[in-house]
Amino acid sequence: MITVEFTLNGEERRIEADPCVTLLEALREGLHLTGAKEGCGIGECGACTVLFDGEPVVSCLVLVGDAAGRAVTTVEGLAADGALDEVQRAFVATGALQCGFCTPAMVLTVEALLGAGGPPTREAAVEALGGVLCRCGTYPKVLAVIDTLSGGAA
């Protein structure tokens, strides 16, 4: 077992973990944060996306030990006291989800894109959403969310 110290959704955490598990496994099974999903398990679909210091990473390829020292954000960290944040409210208002499986990853990707300093260009938005495979085809709606939240500049 190893000790991993990191910030999770704004809170300092110190966990004991088996070093042979991925961050995705640790989040879902150890910490019961099931927003991040296993789609492909090999980093191609993005359903496991979490943020490391504000940047999307595929948590299925991160060994839990590599969360050390990071500020990790999962979708569960967005709603303060149960109130959806601006991005989440825009997803709801726009109807930018269907089955919802990729939605945590999409929401975090949009958070990261808007948090990077914007407004993002259309090209940057499309490139960012390329990190999450959505078989339902919600991309036009998610792009509309980005457009709305960046003041229509995209």
Binding mask 102-121 for another protein (x = CB under 8 A): -------x------------
Distance set, CA 49 to CA 21, 59, 73, 154 (Å): 16, 6, 10, 23
Across 9-134, where does the E strand assignment appear? 11-17, 49-52, 55-58, 71-73
39-78: contacts with another protein (CB under 8 A): 41-44, 46, 49, 52, 55-58, 60-63, 65-66
Q: Candidates 7-15, 24-32, 72-80, 87-95: pick the segment binding another protein (CB under 8 A).
A: 24-32
Q: Candidates 34-42, 80-88, 89-97, 141-149: pick the segment binding another protein (CB under 8 A).
A: 34-42
> Do residues 75 and 112 lie in contact, with contact meaning Cβ atoms separated by under 8 Å?
no
Is residue 31 a contact residue for another protein (CB under 8 A)?
A: no
Q: Residue 35 or residue 56: which is nearer to another protein going by CB?
A: 56
Give the separation between CA 9 and CA 142, rounded to whole angstroms.
23
Q: Is the peptide bond before 19 cis (omega within 30 degrees of 0)?
A: no
Q: Residue 95 or residue 130: which is nearer to another protein going by CB?
A: 130
Across the chain, where does the E strand assignment appear? 2-8, 11-17, 49-52, 55-58, 71-73
Residues engaged in binding another protein (CB under 8 A): 2, 19-22, 24-25, 28, 38, 41-44, 46, 49, 52, 55-58, 60-63, 65-66, 109, 127-128, 130-131
